[in-house]
Structures are given as C-alpha cells and as structure tokens.
Amino acid sequence: MSNLIFNSVTKVFGEGSSKYVALSSVNFEAESGQLILVVGPSGSGKTTFLTIAGGLQTPSDGEVTINGKQLTNLSKKEQTKLRLDKIGFVLQSYNLVPFLTVKEQFRLVDKIKSKNLTEQKMNELLDDLDLSELLNKYPNELSGGQKQRVAIARALYTNPEYILADEPTAALDTDRSLAVINILKNLARKQNKIIIVVTHDLRLKDSADKVYQIIDGKMELL
C-alpha cells in the first residue's frame, strides 16, 4: 500500500515585507486506489502544493512522506529516481517538446525510462483520449485541449504509481473533462494508483474519493 502524507507543511516565498505564505500548516493524506481532488481558486496554493508533493519544490516547514520515507531526507539523486520511477506529472504548461510530433513525445520518454506501457495498452489509452489521429502532428498544430490530452497521455505512459495533475481539464469541454477524470478514476481503482488532481474546476467534484479545499494556502477536507 502506497501513501503520500503532508504533515503540517508550510511554504513561504520571499522574506521581510515581501514574505508570502503560500501554504500554511497543510495536512493531507492520500493512499493507493484513491482519486483525490484539491479544489481552490486561482492563487490559493494548488500548484505549490502539487509541486511539493512531487518533490519539485521543498517545504519551508513540516514533512512530506512518500511510502513512509520523508522526501527531504532523500538525496537529490534518490529524489530524481523516485520522480522518474513513481511519479507522473501533468503540468499546467503541458511541457511538450515543440520540435517533436505527438508520437515522438512518447519515444522520448522511452529514452529516459524503460518499462513503459505496452504498445497495446498505449493504443487503448490514445483511443480513450481521442488522440489516435493526431500522432504525427506537432504541438503547434494542436488545440489547447489536444495538447492537454497529449500531456495527460504522456504522464500515464510511464505507468507511474502516483499521478499528480495540475488543472488537467482546464482546456477541455465538459464531456472531455469527465472522460479524463473517468480514465484517472479507473486507474486508481483498477491499478491501485494514487491520483491527485488540483483544480478550480468544480465539475469534477462528484468523481473523487476525497475532496480537499484550499483557500489562501489553508487546506481542509470537505
């Protein structure tokens, strides 16, 4: 059983008069098989929370543990390995490589990491996300929603234990949003993954096992 726990995590940016508390004593718990939603308005601390959960930023205070191991106690090398092996990020900016086609974005992942989805599983995923027709297109030939779905597919391609998604439905219409959330929910249920989605999209609320709300850096379980 995997888990991800925040114990009184605070994140402060800047100092003195420009000091800003982005997360304030945040407690959070996720375990295998769950789809967890963190909802909050823009500027409430969602991206800060998610990047700390994935070890892309460190907390100013408090502890983050993944499978019982405190993240900040791991060396940089161990953290990088953990991210590569276990975590799939869907970042707000999509992070697609501009000079690679959709298909090549996945081949690039193969160069960095082995044991990715089999071709058959991958084709199913591309079908589910309605991407099969777009494999030879470059990012600048795709709409925002298409890019977003490619970014989601790429995160899932490595078959990660944890999926951390930042506003993954922001560019999608309601049907596609619900389709994406259903894919994520199925992955949690059937493959026992931990899926954390931060969003200001309240359409997704009913699909989650657990919903936290974050406002001005303060998190509460709804």
Task: Name the site residues for Mg ion (rule: CB under 5 A).
Answer: 46-47
Q: Which residues contact 156 (CB under 8 A, 6 or more apart)?
A: 88, 117, 125, 163, 183, 187
Q: How far is the CB of 197 from Mg ion (least distance, A)?
A: 12
Task: Please state, in angstroms and rounded to a whole number, the distance separating the CA atoms of residues 96 and 105.
Answer: 7
Identity of the residue, 19 or 190, whose beta carbon is nearer to ligand ADP in the bound complex: 19
Does 46 help bind ligand ADP (rule: CB under 6 A)? yes
Residue 45 binding partner per list ligand ADP, Mg ion, none, with a CB distance cut-off of 5 to 8 Å that depends on partner kind: ligand ADP
Answer yes or no whether residue 158 interacts with ligand ADP by CB under 6 A.
no
- Written as six digits, the tokens of 34 are 């769950």
Is 40 a residue that touches ligand ADP (CB under 6 A)? Answer: yes
Contact (Cβ atoms closer than 8 angstroms) between residue 187 and residue 11: no
173 binds ligand ADP (CB under 6 A): no
Give the distance from CA 88 to its chain's centroid: 6
Which partner, ligand ADP, Mg ion, none, binds residue 194 by CB below 5 to 8 Å per kind? Answer: none
Contact 208, 36 (CB under 8 A): yes
> Residue 2: what residue type?
S
Rounded to whole angstroms, the Cα distance separating 155 from 148 reads 11
Q: Which stretch binds ligand ADP (CB under 6 A): 12-20, 66-74, 130-138, 186-194?
A: 12-20
Establish if 169 lies at the interface with ligand ADP (CB under 6 A).
no
At its nearest, how many Å lie between ligand ADP and the CB of residue 165?
A: 12
Tell which residue, 184, 190, 187, has the closest CA to residue 207.
184
Region for 192 from its dihedrals, namely left if φ exceeds 0, alpha if ψ lies in -120 to 50, beta otherwise: left
* CB-based contact 81:88 (threshold 8 Å): no
> What does 18 bind: ligand ADP, Mg ion, none (CB cut-off 5 to 8 Å by kind)?
none
Nearer to ligand ADP, 14 or 144 (CB): 14
Q: Which stretch binds ligand ADP (CB under 6 A): 13-21, 65-73, 95-103, 182-190?
A: 13-21
Please report how close the Cβ of residue 25 comes to ligand ADP at its closest, in angstroms: 15
Instruction: Reduce the DSSP state of residue 160 to 3 states and report it.
Output: coil
* Rounded-to-integer distance, Cα 50 and Cα 15, Å: 22
Which residues, numbered 47-76, are part of the site for ligand ADP (CB under 6 A)?
A: 47-48
How far, in Å, CA of 37 to CA of 177, rounded? 14
Smallest gap, in angstroms, from Cβ of residue 40 to ligand ADP?
Answer: 6
Least separation in angstroms between CB 45 and Mg ion: 8
Binding site for ligand ADP (CB under 6 A): 13-14, 20, 22, 40, 42-48
